[in-house]
């Protein structure tokens, strides 16, 4: 298993911080010679219709049973006709469904014995060997076969650090890392031996996320486009979305006067951490200064890249649509869901999370609708004839109630 050499990283960092993506000449530092720059400060349209990117939406209604009740879809992946769902807050378990929403099995269970876990923070799939890696809330990672058979566990050798997310890719296991006590030489991404949990190499020095060293739960993994080849990675406050492969390389450079700076972190955010520990969810200066601090809901195919930028508070975000061939960037306050809502309809509180994709692959993107969060508004929209009449499984959707399991909408790329 190859390591990322320190000497290579020193050269790589010099290029990375002294040059923009468009100025790079050496393929040594690029993934397939591709690197995009996206300006986030252009004029924002009121909305982008979701039908301009996706051609159809399929409804997947998850089976509701006492042994597979899901309170929150924390992480979500689809592979080979199976849906893998992690609920780390309510059920504290991982479930597998088929593409018709039928419950198939649960992976592992709560406990302290072999194949059991105290809780789950993330999972990743080795699709070639058909292995599930499940990250426990402590430093353990449990391995299971796709059919749920327990294989064995490893302990991550990363003391005095927090690890939330893991990502398997081509024989390598990666994890984000936040050291409890940091220095300027620390890193925010590590490669781990999937057999014994030891660190093999480190990537992305702390300066990539402007020196941020606190755990900050966003509700999503920093690994995005997780089953695409290669997967991408974007931690909080980064100006780049990077590709994970034989080398860790920049894929998208974000440009904006509202991006968080090292001065913001040092002079403002760190001073507010004492307040955050008193249940204030975000540094106040992020909200006050409308700083862009997170990238999520990422989807990509051969032609399009679409993602969401978080700016200011948790309820303030905008959509970014980028066409790879032309380089055209579209920004919008809202991704309007005209594949579910009739033209001109955008009822408040219904599908307000539209475009917040939990998972994507080359075929399309997946969005989760929790009946417990918006079923009353959904019933009103049906009554008011606001839902498109040919929506897939509309008759079954009408029969849901607040106790039903989540519904998944799959948007197929054009």
DSSP letter string, 294-309: EEEEEEE-SSEEEEEE
* The pLDDT value given to residue 21: 41
Q: Residue 286 belongs to what H/E stretch?
A: helix 284-288
Contact between 82 and 96 (Cβ < 8 Å): yes
* All structural domains of the chain with their residue ranges: 6-413
Single pTM value for the model: 0.86
The CATH homologous superfamily to which domain 6-413 belongs is TolB, C-terminal domain (2.120.10.30)
Q: Which of 52-56, 183-187, 376-380 has the highest mean pLDDT?
A: 52-56
- For CA atoms 168, 198, 89, 64, give the dihedral sign: positive
Q: Does position 10 have pLDDT exceeding 80, yes or no?
A: no
End-to-end CA gap in the chain: 38
Q: Which of 2-6, 13-17, 164-168 has the highest mean pLDDT?
A: 164-168
pLDDT digits (tens, 9 = 90+) for 32-91: 445 899 999 999 999 999 999 999 999 999 999 999 999 989 999 999 999 999 999 999
Q: Would you state the structure tokens that stand for residue 385, as one six-digit string?
A: 């004839």
With cut-offs at 50, 70 and 90, classify the pLDDT of residue 3: very low
- For CA atoms 259, 162, 242, 30, give the dihedral sign: positive
Q: Does position 348 have pLDDT exceeding 70, yes or no?
A: no
Strand partners, 187: 205
């Amino acid at each position: 298993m190859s390591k990322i050499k320190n000497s290579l990283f020193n050269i790589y960092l010099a290029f990375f911080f002294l040059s923009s993506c468009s100025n790079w000449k050496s393929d040594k530092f690029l993934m397939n010679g591709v690197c995009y720059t996206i300006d986030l400060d252009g004029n924002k349209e009121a909305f982008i219709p979701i039908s301009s990117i996706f051609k159809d939406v399929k409804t997947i209604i998850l089976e509701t049973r006492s042994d597979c009740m899901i309170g929150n879809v924390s992480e979500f992946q689809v592979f080979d006709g199976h849906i893998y769902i992690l609920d780390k807050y309510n059920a504290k378990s991982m479930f597998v469904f088929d593409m018709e929403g039928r419950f198939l099995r649960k992976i592992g269970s709560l406990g302290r014995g072999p194949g059991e876990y105290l809780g789950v923070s993330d999972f990743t799939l080795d699709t070639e060997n058909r292995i599930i890696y499940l990250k426990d809330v402590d430093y353990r990672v449990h391995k299971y076969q796709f059919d749920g058979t327990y294989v064995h566990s490893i302990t991550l050798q990363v003391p005095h650090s927090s690890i939330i997310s893991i990502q398997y890719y081509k024989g390598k296991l990666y994890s984000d890392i936040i050291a409890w006590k940091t220095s300027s030489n620390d890193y925010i991404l590590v490669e781990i031996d999937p057999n014994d949990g030891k660190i093999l190499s480190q990537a992305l020095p702390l300066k990539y996320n402007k020196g941020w060293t606190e755990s900050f739960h966003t509700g999503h993994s920093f690994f995005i486009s997780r089953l695409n080849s290669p997967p991408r990675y974007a931690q909080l406050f980064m100006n780049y979305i990077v590709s994970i492969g034989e080398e860790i390389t920049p894929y998208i450079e974000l440009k904006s006067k509202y991006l968080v700076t090292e001065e913001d972190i040092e002079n403002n955010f760190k001073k507010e951490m004492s307040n955050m520990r008193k249940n204030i969810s975000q540094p106040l200066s992020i909200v006050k200064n409308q700083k862009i601090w997170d990238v999520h809901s990422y989807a990509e195919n051969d032609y399009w890249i679409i993602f969401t930028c978080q700016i200011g508070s948790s309820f303030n975000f905008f959509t970014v649509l980028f066409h790879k061939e032309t380089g055209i960037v579209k920004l919008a306050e809202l991704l309007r869901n005209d594949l579910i809502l009739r033209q001109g309809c955008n009822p408040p509180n219904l599908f307000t999370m539209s475009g917040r994709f939990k998972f994507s692959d080359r075929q399309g993107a997946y969005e989760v609708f929790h009946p417990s969060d918006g079923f009353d508004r959904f019933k009103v929209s049906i009554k008011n004839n606001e839902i498109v009449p040919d929506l897939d499984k509309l008759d079954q959707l009408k029969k849901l109630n607040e106790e039903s399991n989540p519904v998944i909408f799959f948007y197929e790329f054009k």
